[in-house]
Amino acid sequence: MSSGIRGFALLGAVAFGAVGGSLAASLYLQAPPNQTIAQEQATAARAALAAAPDLSQAFKLTAHAVRPSVVSISSVKKVRVLNPRLRQRPGVPGMPGIPDELRRFFGDDPFERMLPQMPQTPEDFSQEGLGSGVIVSADGLILTNNHVVAGADEVTVTTSDSRQLRAKIVGTDRATDVAVLKVDAKDLVAAPLGNSDSLEVGDWVMAIGSPLGFNQTVTAGIISAMGRQVGVTNGGYEDFLQTDAAINPGNSGGPLVNLKGEVIGINTAIASRSGGFSGIGFAIPVNMARSVMNQIRDNGKVTRGRIGAAIQDLTDDLAKSFGYNGREGALIDDVIPDSPAAKAGLKAGDIVTKYQGKPVKSSSQFRNAVAATPPNTKAEVEIFRDGKKQTLPVQVGLLTEDEMTRSQPDGGDEEATADALGLSVQPLTPELARQLGLKETQTGVVIAGVEPGSIAARGGLKPGDAITSVGGQAVANLKEFREVMAKQKASDGVRLQVVREGSNRFIFLRTG
């Protein structure tokens, strides 16, 4: 019977029941047409609830299996400062001077400069910290966060059976916020380490630790995102798992586990405006933590790979300007001369699509992958160049600790030429290159001014930026810059290669 005929039949049945059918039939026929469907769904749901205790049992078994491996960590750092009570403003009782942490913004307190030099006696006090950790080997190795124990003079670990043990800091790695501790004790229960690469968004997880000082607290949630960079390591290596399992201060360093009882992350940070749990927490993937731990244990330090290339993420416009489809990959901005990348034949403008056979989704992922590669390893790098893909072998080098910070370059003279992008430029002389921290042999033009509200301003260009290519064509001087710019249409978009503070970047500008 068609749906139209069925509709008519129901309407007729309702009329019949209203006129002379039984009360039971009348009540049934006056019920909403979908009532029987809802009843069937409710019955099916109750039948399915029989499986719910299985999930509850999984959570309980996971907690029982992992909690004996979770420890609370208290750290003590002894600090000696000049007596802070001497920092009182003269004639203003109870009003303190400028706090030390603000002096770098406001300078010294002018009231203090008027004070006679008074003897300042040293005063000792202790800073205490609280966090969590997880035992990962039967001989007492413990994984936690660097920020839980950084600079500590004493570290004490409290196990699940209330034993308090003095811990030794085996090593720390600020770049990933991982620390490794060691305790000497018997009958320790080590938690197995899982594989964080196998995780997917939606996987159930549990966080265990000592939030707000409440030891052995268990919370549950899911993996809500992966590959997050949140800036807590100040330029370090981040590839955080994001979870909605409740994480609060004190959870730092504790394990994030799957429902197999395996550690798949080390809880590290939360995103919060209040300082408490807001539904977004971050954990270091255990594969990254394990690699750092193994190097600290075996070598006493962490070494990282480098290829000597500056990289950035792709935008739709940048990708299109290179004839590349999509935004996944890492765009090479610059290649350091005589670096592994240079020796392998990598160039600025290459788009890295795979590294060691694995797809590259972002510049940060590529950076992390290279850093995790042992120095002297020959790595395969797939790139997109001039509309084609090719694979180049790169001999990964050793990343040293000489990360240099460069001062903001000066804008230079204001004599310049204007162009359609809303900026003015001037020749890049050897003297100006030296002032900007560039090599004296660097060619190009220097931005002398940027018009407020222009597309150049919206694109982030600044006075002092050196433009070395326009639309893929190198510009060595003002004449070449004018000639190449004359062929560009701002409405179609213009790709610039810019040197800022010694690093190359591609910037795409377009009107509208």
Three-state DSSP at 439 gives coil
Say how far apart CA 264 and CA 192 lie, in whole Å: 9
Helix (H) or strand (E) holding 351: strand 351-355
Query: What tokens were used for 432?
Result: 């100006």
Q: Which one, of 253, 248, 278, lies nearest residue 176 by Cα?
A: 253
292 alpha carbon, distance to own chain's centre? 17
Three-state DSSP at 448 gives strand
On whether the CB atoms of residues 254 and 133 are closer than 8 A, the answer is yes
The letter for the amino acid at 65 is A
* 252 assigned to active site: yes
| DSSP state letter for 458 | H
Say how far apart CA 243 and CA 145 lie, in whole Å: 17
Q: Which one, of 239, 248, 284, lies nearest residue 265 by Cα?
A: 284
**Residue given tokens 């050793």 in the structure block:** 398
Q: At a CB cut-off of 8 Å and minimum separation 6, what does 421 contact?
A: 454, 455, 456, 461, 490, 494, 509
On whether the CB atoms of residues 394 and 309 are closer than 8 A, the answer is no
* 100 assigned to active site: no
Three-state DSSP at 65 gives helix
Say how far apart CA 263 and CA 241 lie, in whole Å: 13
On whether the CB atoms of residues 99 and 47 are closer than 8 A, the answer is no
Annotated active-site residue in 74, 252, 321, 424: 252
| DSSP state letter for 112 | H
Annotated active-site residue in 74, 75, 132, 147: 147
On whether the CB atoms of residues 132 and 250 are closer than 8 A, the answer is yes
CB atoms within 10 A of CB 121: 9
Annotated active-site residue in 177, 239, 244, 333: 177
Say how far apart CA 254 and CA 266 lie, in whole Å: 6
* 22 assigned to active site: no
Q: At a CB cut-off of 8 Å and minimum separation 6, what does 54 contact?
A: none
* Catalytic sites, residue numbers: 147, 177, 252
